[in-house]
Amino acid sequence: MSGGRHYLPLTDAERQEMLAAIGADSVEQLYDELPPAIRLKDGLKLPPPLSEMEALAHLSELAVKNRHLREYPCYLGAGVYDHFIPSVVQYLTGRSEFSTAYTPYQAEISQGLLQSIFEYQTLICRLTGMEAANASLYDGATSLAEAAVASCGATRRRKVLVSRAVNPYYRQVLQSYLQAREFQLEELPLLKGETDYARLEMMLDDETAALLLQQPNFFGLLEEMEGVAEVAHRHGALLVLSVDPISLALCRTPAEYDADIVTGEGQALGNPPSFGGPLLGFFAARQKLLRRIPGRIVGETRDNQGRRGFVLTLQTREQHIRRERATSNICSNQALNALAAAVYLAALGPAGLREVAGLCLQKAAYAREKITALDGFEQAFPGVHFKEFAVRLPGTGERLNRHLLEHKIIGGLDLQPYYPELGPAMLFCVTETKSRAQIDALVRALEGWS
């Protein structure tokens, strides 16, 4: 028997009736124009189909082979974060009027999504201090790459300067995107875990489209960025900041650093880590760059009776209208993840988000103090930390993580593959989801290890 019959409503009798209506004898005849050489004679070679019950059991068998974050406390960050998600987020984003809809092309029956995206755009603007935001991009890495491409378009320049303190995964994606366009990518070096701004003036020139920085940077450090925008702007370059949205409850906003474009990973706002996807790339910019923004944008308007309503707007930037001259090729985005972010931000409110950020700050500081007090574990960099910090280790990170796994702990990120110059080092992330008891258990597991 073929699988998935409960998804296929046509009965054999109906199939016969419909074939008769179109003047065909068999379903096979509907494929008559396919060259015989490419028609599959024996069908696909796939395992026999499973019923719903068997399939769920099979998926559960795969799932239990994984050690997940609700089972083992996890100290990984590096762009994907373990934050608490209130129940309302899953409950509301699970409503199928949202989740089973396509992109809201037909505005009159898509006001729910369109308004929620408009609210999301507004929330992103309020967090970052920017004036315009889009409906989402794939993830923090691609939104930074899109910002670089948009900067080259806006300035008509072909070079991008990125700090080595920017997430190495992001820099890899940036490299792929820019190389394809034959745009140049140069790296601003590190000094004690922060961008070496003394080199900035020397490396910026009249071909530089943008300066790409991360705040807090990859090592969790809040960089001293006072005056950086002014230097970039003096050379005609845009300042692009990739930020952690949770940090913005307490930390100076990108607007307050005079950034032109703000990108980042929004997964932390109400989306589970999900093994790195789906994530949520957010993208916000100054008003003057509105028409350079890639992807969907929702705008407010009125209906024929004067009532407020929302539509996809500025679509002449997009691929379905502009084709090869579009600002980006993006079509599907991460709409449902953006909805989750909006519900999350509204559920937390200003006080809740400040509490989450405060708990991250306090708990990460507590863990950092305890860990770096251990023999052989040294704080890698001085400076102001948010929820992540780098530690020099007495042995390799890979080995340490194996040791921690035996203690039912998922350790931090082994930094050696990305920053070999640091020697054995690990990036720890501590959020509000870690209790003091768990942090103490981590410290005990580290104690005496070498």
Partner 1 sequence: MRKEQALLFELGAPGRRGCSLPQPDLPVKPLDELLPPERQRKSALKLPEVSEGELVRHYTALSTRNYGVDSGFYPLGSCTMKYNPKVNEEAARQPGFAFLHPCQPAESVQGALELFYRTESYLKEITGMDRVTFQPAAGAHGELTGMMLIRAYHSSRNDQRKIVLAPDSSHGTNPASAAMTGYKIKELPSDERGLVDLKALRELLNEEVAALMLTNPNTLGLFEEDILEIAALVHDVGGLLYYDGANLNAIMGHARPGDMGFDVVHLNLHKTFATPHGGGGPGSGPVGVKEHLAPFLPVPLVEKGESGYYWKDDLPLSIGKIHGFYGNFGVVVKAYIYLVMMGAAGLRQAAADAVLNANYLMERLKRSYTLPYDRRCKHEFVLSAREQKKKGVSAGDIAKALLDYGFHPPTVYFPLIVEEALMVEPTETESKKTLDRFAEALEEIARLVEEDPEHVTTAPHTTPVGRLDEVRAARKPRVCWEGDEKSD
Which candidate, 355, 79, 123, 371, places its Cα nearest to that of 216?
79
Q: CB nearer to partner 1: give 1 or 202.
A: 1
**Residue from the set 84, 288, 421, 448 that interacts with partner 1 by CB under 8 A:** 84
Closest distance of CB 434 from partner 1, Å: 10
One of 211, 261, 268, 343 touching partner 1 (CB under 8 A): 343
Q: Quick one: which segment of 188-196, 233-241, 327-335, 373-381 binds partner 1 (CB under 8 A)?
A: 327-335
Distance CA 285, CA 291 (A): 10
Q: Answer yes or no whether residue 153 interacts with partner 1 by CB under 8 A.
A: no
Per rule CB under 8 A, is residue 443 in the interface with partner 1? Answer: no
Q: Does 202 contact partner 1 by CB under 8 A?
A: no
Alpha carbon 292 to chain centroid, angstroms: 20
What is the DSSP-derived secondary structure letter of residue 216? S
Tokens, residue 384: 């102001």
Closest alpha carbon to 426 in 149, 163, 75, 167: 75
By CB under 8 A, name the one of 235, 366, 392, 447 that touches partner 1: 366
282 counts as binding partner 1 under rule CB under 8 A: no
**How far is residue 232's CA from residue 244's CA, in Å, rounded to a whole number?**
22
Angle at 101 between CA 97 and CA 107, to 5 degrees: 95
* 131 alpha-carbon distance from chain centroid: 21
Closest to 380 in 3D by CA, of 412, 342, 333 = 412
Query: Looking at beta carbons only, is 204 or 381 nearer to partner 1?
Result: 381
* CB contact set of 206 (below 8 Å; sequence gap of 6+): 157, 235, 236
Q: Does 173 bind partner 1 (CB under 8 A)?
A: yes
Residues 413-442 that bind partner 1 (CB under 8 A): 413, 432, 435-437, 439
Contact range with partner 1 by CB under 8 A, out of 154-162, 187-195, 371-379, 397-405: 397-405
Beta-carbon contacts of 201 under 8 Å, excluding residues fewer than 6 positions away, are: 231
Is 227 a binder of partner 1 (CB under 8 A)?
Answer: no
63 binds partner 1 (CB under 8 A): yes
What residues numbered 112-151 form the site for partner 1, per CB under 8 A?
112-113, 115-119, 121-123, 125-127, 129, 131-133, 135-136, 138-142, 149
Q: Of the two residues 260 and 318, which places its CB atom closer to partner 1 in the complex?
A: 318
Residue 186 as a binder of partner 1 (CB under 8 A): the answer is no
- Tell me if 387 contacts partner 1 by CB under 8 A: no
Binding mask 25-54 for partner 1 (x = CB under 8 A): --x--xxxxxx-xxxx--xxxxxxxxxx--
240 DSSP assignment: E
**Count, residues in the chain:** 450
Sign of the dihedral through C-alpha 34, 35, 40, 41: positive
The two structure tokens encoding residue 442:
């981590």
Among 334, 390, 419, 422, contact with partner 1 (rule: CB under 8 A): 334
Under rule CB under 8 A, residue 248 binds partner 1: yes
Show contacts with partner 1 in window 304-323 (CB under 8 A).
Answer: 304-305, 307-311, 313-316, 318-323
Q: How far apart are CA 250 and CA 384, in angstroms?
A: 13
**Taking CB under 8 A as the rule, does residue 154 contact partner 1?**
no
Q: What are the residues facing 347 on neighbouring strands?
A: none
